[in-house]
A = this chain, B = another copy of it.
Amino acid sequence: MSVLRKINAQLEDMAPADRQIGRFILDHPDQMLKLSSAALAAETGRSQSSVVKFSQKLGFAGYQELKLAVSKAKAQEWHAPPGMIHGSIEVGDGYLTILQKLISSKMLAMQQTLAVNGEQEIERALTALNDARRIHMAGVGASSLVARDFSYKLMKLGRNVLHDSDSHVQMANASTLNAADVLFAFSYSGASIETLRIAELARERGATVVAVTGLNGVPLTQVANIRLYTAADEERVRSSSITARDAQLMLTDLLFILLIQRQPDANDYVHNSETAVSVLKAR
């Protein structure tokens, strides 16, 4: 239990002097960290020895130890807020609240995304990816960025990847696919017209279609051979596109890592690519 909680719990049963000192620490923990025992005594109108005794009654060797404990407690409080704060981000929220809500939304999106996809389906996607002659990526808007991010990563592994942010170019590329190829179609709603049409075309041409959609990804999921789902916490963060994107990235990152595991020479590829890029660094 954190010291602050401990002090708070015992506050009622303390002698007046101790209670006064305890209250001050609870009210101004940050200030207390900067004060010496004598200064704290002056601040509370008590004696320096009382401050030391207060520390010892709490089980510490002395005032210094108490300070360390308070510092630790404050830091932990900052990081592990008393239970994650739920609910959507509101206009009146303070900086810290927003921060906590944002991070907890992101975590939830990632965890749920991992939870909704079974290992078999991931495995199937992975095999398709690994065996593909060419990998084609489709996606518009924010999903296009995820597609591109994934493309870059796969290229680092020496894979044959095609992606363009222009949906007409994507469509043109899709018309060249065949049974040896894989199309990754990203659309959180599952209803983006361009992505849908591209997926349909790819399917007609015999390519394996992997759909990455939100939980209700109809109609895109109906076109797909392999279905992967992303869970975004739309209620929490105002613009849901944030967590939808995080969920998509969680999934593509996972596929990337798993693909590395399957490819013995992956490290060489990644290393070479990094060496090449480092030529473009200053210093």
Q: What class of interface size applies to chain A in its complex with B?
A: 35 or more
Is A238 touching B250 in the complex (CB atoms < 8 A)?
A: no
Q: Is the interface of A mostly helix, strand, loop or mixed?
A: helix
Whether a CB of chain B sits under 8 angstroms from the CB of A49 is no
Which residues from B are CB-within-8-Å of A258?
A: 95, 98
Kindly identify which residue among B71, B73, B218, B239 contacts A153, using a CB–CB cutoff of 8 Å. Answer: B239
Is A282 touching B80 in the complex (CB atoms < 8 A)?
A: no
Interface members, chain A 95-140 (any B CB < 8 Å) = 95, 98-99, 102-103, 106-107, 110-111, 114-115, 119, 122, 140
* Cα-based distance from A156 to B238 in the complex (angstroms): 13
Known contacts A67-B68, A79-B76, A141-B152; decide if A98 and B246 are in contact (CB<8 Å): no
* Cα-based distance from A187 to B258 in the complex (angstroms): 27
How many copies make up the complex? 2
Kindly identify which residue among B91, B102, B277 contacts A253, using a CB–CB cutoff of 8 Å. Answer: B102
Is B192 touching A149 in the complex (CB atoms < 8 A)?
A: no
Which residues from B are CB-within-8-Å of A267?
A: 238
Minimum Cβ distance to chain B for residue A111 (Å): 7
Q: Interface readout for A51-86 with B: 1 if CB under 8 Å, 0 if not?
A: 000000000000010011001111110111000000
Q: List 14 A-B residue pairs with CB atoms under 8 Å apart, sorted by A's residue number.
A: A75-B75, A79-B115, A91-B261, A98-B254, A98-B257, A107-B110, A141-B152, A142-B152, A192-B280, A192-B282, A196-B282, A238-B260, A238-B270, A239-B260
Question: Which positions in A face B, CB cutoff 8 Å?
Answer: 33, 64, 67-68, 71-76, 78-80, 89, 91, 93, 95, 98-99, 102-103, 106-107, 110-111, 114-115, 119, 122, 140-142, 145, 148-149, 152-153, 156, 189, 191-194, 196, 218-219, 237-239, 241-242, 245-246, 249-250, 253-254, 256-258, 260-261, 267, 270, 277, 280-283
Query: 3 smallest A-B Cβ distances: which pairs?
Result: A75-B75, A72-B75, A191-B281
